[in-house]
Amino acid sequence: MAIAAFFGHKDYNYTDYEPVLNKIIVNLIEKHDVTEFYNGYRGAFDRVCALSVYKLKPKYPHIKNTLVLSYLPDKNFVMPYCFDESVYLLERARPVKFAIWYTNRMAVDAADYIILGVRYDFGGAWAACDYARRRRKQIINIFDTMN
């Protein structure tokens, strides 16, 4: 069993990439035994990915859509309907300013595959992508698959 993690820009229109993203996810499930998908659910790419995995659950009921939390939830926390569970990967709470950065690194470390929607070389998604490259993770960028 393997884990895939999603990283992408928070403000980008990914509509044209949904079919290729779906193919990538199905391929990972069917050919690489990915059963868990980590998602921070913080922007446009995360939302598209979360819904893609959610829509595949009837066909692949064994997969898990996991919300990766950067902050410990308070009593009013309500998990979005598309997720099966949540996980807090940090060994201790981090300052608010750095919590997402640390969480992204922990998600990269935990994942076997990294699915990217990263087109620009700046921002948090790019930093996670750069870290994944340095950790020699298997990376699939949706922008590299459409020609």
pLDDT in tens, 32-89: 999 999 999 999 999 999 999 999 999 999 999 999 999 998 899 999 999 999 999 9
Structurally, how many domains does the chain consist of?
A: 1
Let me know if residue 67 belongs to a domain: yes
Let me know if residue 17 belongs to a domain: yes
For CA atoms 78, 80, 82, 84, the dihedral sign is negative
Let me know if residue 1 belongs to a domain: no
Let me know if residue 83 belongs to a domain: yes
Tell me the whole-structure pTM to 2 decimals.
0.95
> Looking at residue 104, which CATH number applies to its domain?
3.40.50.450
Position 146 scores a pLDDT of 59
Mean pLDDT of the chain: 94
Range of the structural domain that residue 111 is part of: 8-35+46-118+137-145
